[in-house]
Amino acid sequence: MSENLKELYQIQKVLNDTGYHDISRISKEIQDYCNEKAISPTLVLKRIETGEPWDYIRGESEFYGNKFLLNRKTLIPRPETEQMVDIAISFLEENPNYKNVIDVGTGSGCIIISIAKVIKDKKEINLCGIDIDKQALSIAKENAVLHKINEKVTFLKGNLLKATELKDGTLIIANLPYIPKKIYKKLDRSVLNFEPKRALLGGKDGLKYYKKLISQIKQAYKSNISLLIEIEPSTLEDLRMVLGNYETDIIKDSRNHNRFVLIRLS
Ligand SMILES: C[S@@+](CC[C@H](N)C(=O)[O-])C[C@H]1O[C@@H](n2cnc3c(N)ncnc32)[C@H](O)[C@@H]1O
């Protein structure tokens, strides 16, 4: 057996023992990464064994078919979140009076940048990404340059919508920290030990940030404001109480979970 193949089997064994699923793709990526950086796979495997996610080790991830740079202050984009991009694009097509999109809790910028890439010819639509974390924002800006849409998207540091003035005709997209405290404590060690708590924990009921965001939006008294959020499905009933009579669409993810909520707030 060639040295190369032996090395590949060793990588695959560690990935398997650590609970990875897409083993053939990731083992190949690790081998290519080690060759390119001229480092021994043993160094990478030691980090993998501690539970450190491969995407943090290599400093990038894939989202909506595009590469996104990451740092330890950015959440690793989740595949289910890609659906928010599709929902937002359809919404903008069906509601041409909406000329502004704000992505609150932008992290790596994956959602707003993916939208920007699809609608880059629609010059009349303003796009903005907001995050409270300075280091996450700096990666979002790098990603915007990487995807050549840095002139199309503005990035702001702020607590929810505080740094911006809401305009009529705005779609607000938010994948804010939504994991309720009880669920958070039981997450996998690769999430608990490596991903930013600030990006995941949504208070006791998982709705802390969404309640604040909705209250900020209401106080702005603007017309044609819709909000698209990603939620932990078990928090939907509590969210319904917060929303009262607003026109609301619940959208399921690919695993049939109630994951996205589109709310017409005015
Ligand atoms: C679940 S992550 C989502 C990141 C990215 N949008 C994605 O979908 O992969 C939540 C993000 O919200 C940010 N965040 C947390 N609290 C915030 C607040 N009060 N205002 C603005 N952003 C906040 C975190 O820094 C983190 O980047």
166 and 60 within one domain: no
Chain centre distance of CA 23? 23
At 186, which helix (H) or strand (E)?
none
> What's the CA-to-centroid distance between 136 and ligand 1, angstroms?
9
Ligand 1 site-directed mutation target among 74, 132, 213, most atoms within 8 Å of CB: 132
Query: Is residue 230 one of the residues assigned to a domain?
Result: yes
Q: Which residues line ligand 1 (CB under 6 A)?
A: 75, 77, 81, 104-108, 110-111, 130-133, 136, 159-160, 175-177, 198-199, 209
Whether 74 is in a domain gets the answer no
Structure token pair of residue 97: 């009076």
Q: What is the pLDDT of residues 143-198, one digit of tens each?
A: 999 999 999 999 999 999 999 999 999 999 999 999 999 999 999 999 999 999 99
Q: Model confidence over 219-235: pLDDT tens digits? A: 999 999 999 999 999 99
Domain boundary pick from 47, 69, 91:
69
Confidence of residue 56 (pLDDT cuts 50, 70, 90): very high
| Residue nearest to ligand 1 atom 2, measured at CA | 199
* Strand ranges (E), the chain: 60-63, 66-69, 100-104, 126-131, 153-157, 170-174, 225-230, 247-252, 258-264
Residue 244 lies in a domain: yes
Does one domain contain both 105 and 204?
yes
Q: Are strands 153-157 and 126-131 parallel, antiparallel or unpaired?
A: parallel
Average pLDDT of 76-85?
98
Domain that holds residue 143: 79-264
* pLDDT reported for residue 152: 96
Name the domain count of the chain.
2
Q: Are 109 and 146 in contact (CB under 8 A)?
A: no
CATH of the domain at 97: 3.40.50.150
Helix (H, G, I), strand (E, B) or coil at 215: helix
Residues 55 and 113 in one domain: no
Same domain, 25 and 117: no
Are 259 and 185 found together in one domain?
Answer: yes
Q: In the listed set 46, 69, 92, which residue is the last one of a domain according to the structure?
A: 69
Please say which residue of 69, 98, 126 terminates a domain. 69
Residue pair 116/152 in contact by the 8 Å Cβ criterion: yes
Is the same domain home to 22 and 88? Answer: no
Question: What is the pTM for the complete model shown?
Answer: 0.97
Instruction: Please check whether residues 108 and 238 belong to one and the same domain.
Output: yes
Residue 154 lies in a domain: yes
What's the longest Cα–Cα distance across the chain? 69
Q: Whose CA is nearest to atom 6 of ligand 1?
A: 106
- Do 51 and 101 fall within a single domain? no
In a domain, 160, yes or no: yes
At residue 1, the pLDDT reads: 76
pLDDT in tens, 228-256: 999 999 999 999 999 999 999 999 999 99
Q: What is the mean pLDDT of the chain?
A: 97
